[in-house]
Amino acid sequence: MALIVPGGCARLLPSSQLPARVRSPRRFTTLATVSSPSRGGEAVDWVKATSCFFEQDSRPIMLFDGVCNLCNGGVKFVRDNDRQRRIRFEALQSEAGKNLLRRSGRAPDDISSVVLVEKDRSYIKSDAVLKIMEYINLPFPQLAFFLQFMPQLIRDFAYDNVANNRYTIFGRSETCEL
């Protein structure tokens, strides 16, 4: 369960560190250049503003649509298959989720895609799904390895079709289950 602390950062307790992993090259947003204008007109460095999310806990954060039944089912599936608790979760609609979206170079109200935010990069759409699969238990890392060879255009087309119809097919709930 996420705990919101002053400064808008979520921390999962107990904190645990991810082991060093070999990362495969994928489409991702490099976070070093992400900034956007604030209400006062000055640019905000969202990487710095959200660095507290990764100070004591380096695990990636999965951002999901908190009112989507499909997304909530996906979170439950990941939790059930992530026995080593390598991934943290945050709803896109939460204040922390909005700040992490900004960190990832996305609009704070963009709930169109699952996003996986690591300390130095973020993944969206099918790339996020494949990266999440790498973190959970067998056989999903192997399945992700093979799926990465499918052209991204095809993967994202399939992802977008499901994402654009998720409320119609799976429904929505009034509140986030987490």
pLDDT tens-digit profile of 123-144?
999 999 999 999 999 999 999 9
Residue 6 has pLDDT above 80, yes or no: no
- Amino acid in position 33: T
Longest dimension (CA), the chain: 49
Give CA–CA dist 163/157, Å, rounded: 10
Give CA–CA dist 10/87, Å, rounded: 13
Average pLDDT score over residue span 153-168: 97
CATH number of 43-170: 3.40.30
Q: Which of 71, 27, 70, 34 is nearest to 51 (CA)?
A: 34
DSSP H/E element including 9: strand 9-12
Q: What is the DSSP string of 25-65?
A: P---EEGGG-EEE-TTSSEEEHHHHTGGGTTS----EEEE-
- Whole-model pTM: value is 0.78
Residue 153 has pLDDT above 50, yes or no: yes
